[in-house]
Structure 1
């Protein structure tokens, strides 16, 4: 059977940078380690005055198409995942297609276009849609372009302000992929939750503590559901575990929960029993409170074991490298976690072909998805073709006053004009407003 998966990826990070320990923390009167060690973040990316979700998505897509030698006729569908859309009717994919048609001879008139919304998990759902479209044979030999693009802004003074970010990930979904092959098995955890929402508003309403609990609960459900179709998994089954990363500190919690689950009833649990005891089983307790307390104590002990620390350092920590420097990209976050892992493997000279990734996606509201991916033979060539670190290093470092101006510039309720900090070159840029109030774009040579 022909394989289907992610053939190639490209990213486009917002061109501005907010340094959290050196700019944000002093202004807030906070210890820099609250951000670097607590949240696990060094910096956030922001869009310049001429950037938005369309320009970032279109620029990432153009980089991908140019590198892979693609023309519009090669693309049969364009799906955009975002929770930062500014249009409640017209999908962002049409704006991006319009941008791309400025620079290619052909057009996307025969490509199916849409927009996916389920908070941060929508990027993975869009990949699922493309996978199913190809598997159904409806693609007519064409590939799908999936773009996850977001500007993750919070209200000034909000607890989530330090986790902001902006960027886009473009992914080509095709037969016989070069990067990763997608598996047939998926696991889901979903429930009607109000942990994070935007009811006709730009900035989110967030219940931070509840959001963490919901994230962990849905991830656990998805992992259990995945095992129901893929079979019991073991810590050594996967080279890396890219998780949705709103900030690395949340992944630390999810990773510990996942590790406890997958070592249960394995030789790893037995080996650890002499040091920290076996995992508490609910049937051994008379009430939930006693069980919860015993489980909390076990988790605290498990976190300090050499076995867990080694697994976390090998499997999870390498997925966090990009996120530490760009912040939360909402729909793109799990996809830059995957990319971070692959970049780490390339730097370490690992032979990753044929090894598997366990990918954990999440969207508030709430839903989690767990699925496996197999790294393809040409993965290294794909990863070495990227300029991720160069983009991160080239960002303009904002002062606090400049950050305030940029935040106001991208606040939909404020009509803030702002001179750009960087000069657009060989990229798409916002070009003002049209007669119906639409956003217009042009390609800047």
Structure 2
């Protein structure tokens, strides 16, 4: 049975800051961001937008009413949870009006969680071929004003509908995973922002990639020459490029081809920033919507990495007619976001919800987005659908 991605959608907040402006405000050469990180802009999420609203917005863009009657599992991969107990998938299930007899769960392992969700979705469809599974990768990467990681922040969500006989990509059964108990990036419950060992984390990203790819080759017999393109986890675009170069140095011909596709696959990532679990799938969407070199049956290689660390390499093949299920004007939509100066970015992105003695929020800002957090009442998050 062929199982894979039938639809894919994306949502970003309506605010953005130019990294050239941020560099000027921090007295840093803008080329450090533009060339050193290969990043240009950063999505900025207001306090009324979180992983629930962004995830619901990404999914609503691709789902029909019929889909909502057929989905029987909702999986959200995230490391930006809004509740230690209740899954974001439960909130999203309700906001979207998906039929009630569905399983809704949240998965966590840093930036890897949504990839695990994709594998679980495949297993579910293999058992129940008429089912549909909604997999959402939704995250907000936030490191603090003037922090080392500030230019690699971001916010957004990618939604994928997983089905039998998919119309975009068939996922192959060639997955290879690796786990290492390391502390390269982590987020204690008592900390507002993550703790990062930056140099160690980038080393582990690359080493996990090279060792897992070696094992993948031994298991499958595939080489880089078998792939038309590669999508990697993109904490910032330069990191993904370095990873590609690390596994491609022994095959210059394949590396040249894959590097061309890589630059098509980071068009959106460069304009959005890091969205943790969703970064690799945003790269896939960027590849599909910006490459003119791809064709049906082409095979795409994936490298998913979540600090801590778990990684996975797998592949998928494009389906005939996949272009018909994409959004060709997405770049124009991204250009319509409200551009913020640095002062407004600092105010909006780092605003915190104030609660009174009953655990209820002081009035939140107005938000005309399709989905928004309207208030917290007795410690309960209340969302609305426009």
Alpha-carbon distance in 2 for matches of 1:36, 1:411: 33
With the length of structure 2 as denominator, give the TM-score of the two structures.
Answer: 0.93
Aligned Cα root-mean-square deviation (Å): 2.1
Alpha-carbon distance in 2 for matches of 1:36, 1:416: 39
Equivalent pairs counted in the alignment come to 381
Structure 1 position 314, deviation (Å): 2.3
SS, match of residue 172 in structure 2: strand
Equivalent position to 1:334, from 280, 291, 304: 280
Q: Which residue of 2 aligns with 1:14?
A: 13
Equivalent position to 1:99, from 88, 95, 98: 95
Alpha-carbon distance in 1 for matches of 2:352, 2:117: 26
Alpha-carbon distance in 1 for matches of 2:353, 2:376: 16
Structure 1 position 419, deviation (Å): 3.9
Alpha-carbon distance in 1 for matches of 2:354, 2:10: 25
Q: Which residue of 2 aligns with 1:292?
A: none
Structure 1 position 418, deviation (Å): 6.4
Residues 158 and 404 of structure 1, relative CA distance in 2, 3 Å threshold: same
Post-superposition Cα deviations, 1:287-315, rounded to whole Å, max 9, x if no partner, equal: xxxxxxxxxxxxxxxxxxxx477334323
Alpha-carbon distance in 2 for matches of 1:308, 1:77: 38
Contact 2:228 2:258 in 1 (8 A): no
Q: Which residue of 2 aligns with 1:151?
A: 140
SS, match of residue 39 in structure 1: coil
Alpha-carbon distance in 2 for matches of 1:372, 1:424: 39
Contact 2:47 2:349 in 1 (8 A): no
Alpha-carbon distance in 2 for matches of 1:368, 1:358: 13
Q: Which residue of 1 aligns with 2:382?
A: 440
Alpha-carbon distance in 2 for matches of 1:179, 1:152: 28
Output aligned runs, 1:42-441, within 5 Å. 42-66=40-64, 69-101=65-97, 107-135=98-126, 137=127, 139=128, 141-200=130-189, 201-233=191-223, 235-260=224-249, 263=251, 307=253, 310-345=256-291, 348=292, 350=293, 352-383=295-326, 385=327, 387-410=329-352, 419-420=365-366, 424-425=368-369, 427-435=370-378, 437-441=379-383
Residues 310 and 60 of structure 1, relative CA distance in 2, 3 Å threshold: same
Contact 1:6 1:172 in 2 (8 A): yes
SS, match of residue 374 in structure 1: strand
Alpha-carbon distance in 2 for matches of 1:353, 1:247: 29
Q: Which has the larger radius of gyration?
A: 1
Alpha-carbon distance in 2 for matches of 1:51, 1:45: 12
Alpha-carbon distance in 2 for matches of 1:316, 1:411: 39
Alpha-carbon distance in 2 for matches of 1:42, 1:416: 35
Residues 429 and 116 of structure 1, relative CA distance in 2, 3 Å threshold: same
Contact 1:84 1:202 in 2 (8 A): no
Residues 239 and 432 of structure 1, relative CA distance in 2, 3 Å threshold: same
Alpha-carbon distance in 2 for matches of 1:128, 1:412: 39
Q: Identify the range of structure 1 (23-32 vs 252-261) with the bigger mean alpha-carbon deviation.
A: 252-261
Alpha-carbon distance in 2 for matches of 1:224, 1:401: 47
Residues 238 and 308 of structure 1, relative CA distance in 2, 3 Å threshold: closer
Alpha-carbon distance in 1 for matches of 2:307, 2:362: 30
Structure 1 unmatched ranges of 5 or more: 102-106, 269-306
Alpha-carbon distance in 2 for matches of 1:41, 1:317: 12
SS, match of residue 149 in structure 1: strand
Alpha-carbon distance in 2 for matches of 1:337, 1:351: 14
